[in-house]
Amino acid sequence: MNNHTNKIEPNNDYLIRFLSDWDYRTDAFRITDRSINENITDPEDILTLAHNDKILVELVTYLAASKRAVKNIAKPLSVGIVFAVWKEARRLQPRTELNPAGEDALRAKVAELDWLFRDSLVSWSLYVVDDECPQGSFEVAQAIIKEEGFDSIELLRLRDALPSPNIPLKKLKSADLSVKGGAIIFGLERAAADRHEYIMFTDCDNSNNLGQIGLLMQPLLPGKVRVAIGDRRSTRVSHWQNSRDSESSANYMLKRVRQLLDFDLILRDVTCPFKMFEREYLIGMLEELDVFDFCVDYDMLGYLKSNGTPLAVVPIVSLDSEAQTTWIPLSNASVWWQKLKGFVHVVEKYRLPHNEEPAELVTKYLGSLENIKTVLRTGEQGVFLERRHFSPEEQLEMSLGEVEEWLQSILVR
């Protein structure tokens, strides 16, 4: 599998096909099955089968490696797959003129799991956890499950688990205080209670084809590795939309603060929603978690790093699903607030090596959502210090003292 060559950038029409077109998904499975059955491994031969579609070739290559790994499993075992839903009603439904962001995500996940594990010794269950979605994602998923007669899906509400007598959910006072993290943790708990040997979580959207799960299972099977985490950035078609607010020029000061914290959490793609755990290890990790927002991934990787956990980093093919991203309703400011607060909490909680002075700066100046909003609003108008204008690129070179001086100038009145 190629993971070091130039990126192949899909256009918007291709992205829509990848996320929502059933013919595209079926074609990927058909070509993958043929390449396995006929032992076709030469990239040029696969390119011919894929009608010269280089992105499809990359996907097929990873799907084939995944399915070959599953076919080699010699004993019965089960996998639990968790994802949370919050404002996912559109993604859960098919794409139509009235629902252009539709991905038919639940049916797609079932099809991907059925394809991967068909005629194997692996069974699976899917756990869909409602995170207090105001758009009725729970009811949409419920209707699909009933219509299709799906019997390997458990539909859960986080609120039904609270108040909990057991950690970590004992630390979560209300479902309203969860932003992804609480729902993911609840789903992982339920899957562990159902005694699946391997348990993972993903996102609701179709960015990450679940047919690649075998790539996560493969390093876990021998027993020495306890966790496998996906890396979306290491394949030829790893794709991240540049139009997100995260790329705004207003963010560069906050990016600089993040740089100055100077800590490492195993891999660049910390938040990849494609992480699998061996059951017993997961149970121990869950007891230590106390982050219930989008930084739950940082809490997990902080735990892994502090414990020196044997793990595998696994490249996966992923195309970003942006149209209904929860980044938008949460707001750029809210996401940055959660991130910076989460960074500092995790490095201090697990006593990970980091630069303590920027951590103190975050606590002092960036501990409230209102302050983050002020930084972003002011930064959008330009960063000036002693009449000097700092370009976005120059902001990434600012010293800690310069950063603090600027924050003080706009936040302390």
Angle at 49 between CA 47 and CA 51, to 5 degrees: 70
Task: Kindly state the average pLDDT of the residues 240-264.
Answer: 77
Q: How far apart are the first and last CA of the chain?
A: 56
- Residues 131, 85 contacting (CB under 8 angstroms): yes
Q: Which residue has the higher pLDDT, 52 or 264?
A: 52
So what's the pLDDT on residue 245?
47
So what's the pLDDT on residue 323?
67
Q: What is the DSSP letter of 197?
A: S
Q: Which two tokens stand for residue 12?
A: 């918007």
Position 263 pLDDT exceeds 70: yes
Alpha-carbon span 88 to 237, nearest angstrom? 25
Alpha-carbon span 155 to 260, nearest angstrom? 42
Query: With bands split at pLDDT 50, 70 and 90, how would you rate the model's confidence at 183?
Result: very high
Alpha-carbon span 384 to 410, nearest angstrom? 10
Write the pLDDT tens digit of every residue in 64-86. 999 999 999 999 999 999 999 99
Task: Kindly state the average pLDDT of the residues 20-44.
Answer: 96
Q: Got the DSSP string for 230-264?
A: EETTSSTT-B--TTSGGGSGGGHHHHHHHHHH---
So what's the pLDDT on residue 88?
95
Q: Which two tokens stand for residue 297?
A: 């991934």
Residues 13-48, buried b or exposed e (16+ Cβ, 10 A)?
Answer: ebbbbbbbbeebbebbbebbbebbeeebeebeebee
- Residues 238, 232 contacting (CB under 8 angstroms): yes
So what's the pLDDT on residue 247?
55
SS3 55: helix
Write the pLDDT tens digit of every residue in 319-362. 988 765 665 667 889 889 999 999 999 999 999 999 999 999 99
Alpha-carbon span 220 to 228, nearest angstrom? 7
- Residues 374, 333 contacting (CB under 8 angstroms): no
Tell me which residue of 183, 137, 181, 177 sits closest to 158, measured CA to CA: 183
Residues 360-381, buried b or exposed e (16+ Cβ, 10 A)?
Answer: ebbeebbeeeebbbbbbebbee
Q: Please report, as a single letter, which amino acid is at residue 92.
A: L
Mean pLDDT of the chain: 93
Residues in the chain: 413
Distances (CA, A) of 124 to 146, 186, 191, 196, 337: 19, 18, 10, 8, 36
Position 40 pLDDT exceeds 80: yes
The sign of the dihedral angle between the CA atoms of 126, 131, 137, 138 is: positive
Write the pLDDT tens digit of every residue in 390-402. 999 999 999 999 9
Write the pLDDT tens digit of every residue in 97-155. 999 999 999 999 999 999 999 999 999 999 999 999 999 999 999 999 999 999 999 99
Q: Please report, as a single letter, which amino acid is at residue 290.
A: D
Position 382 pLDDT exceeds 90: yes
Q: Got the DSSP string for 269-332?
A: -TT-S-EEEEHHHHHHHHTT----STTHHHHHHHHHHHTT--EEEEE---B---TT-THHHH-H
The sign of the dihedral angle between the CA atoms of 180, 185, 187, 191 is: positive
Query: With bands split at pLDDT 50, 70 and 90, how would you rate the model's confidence at 266?
Result: confident
Angle at 141 between CA 243 and CA 166, to 5 degrees: 90
- Residues 294, 338 contacting (CB under 8 angstroms): yes
Position 243 pLDDT exceeds 50: no
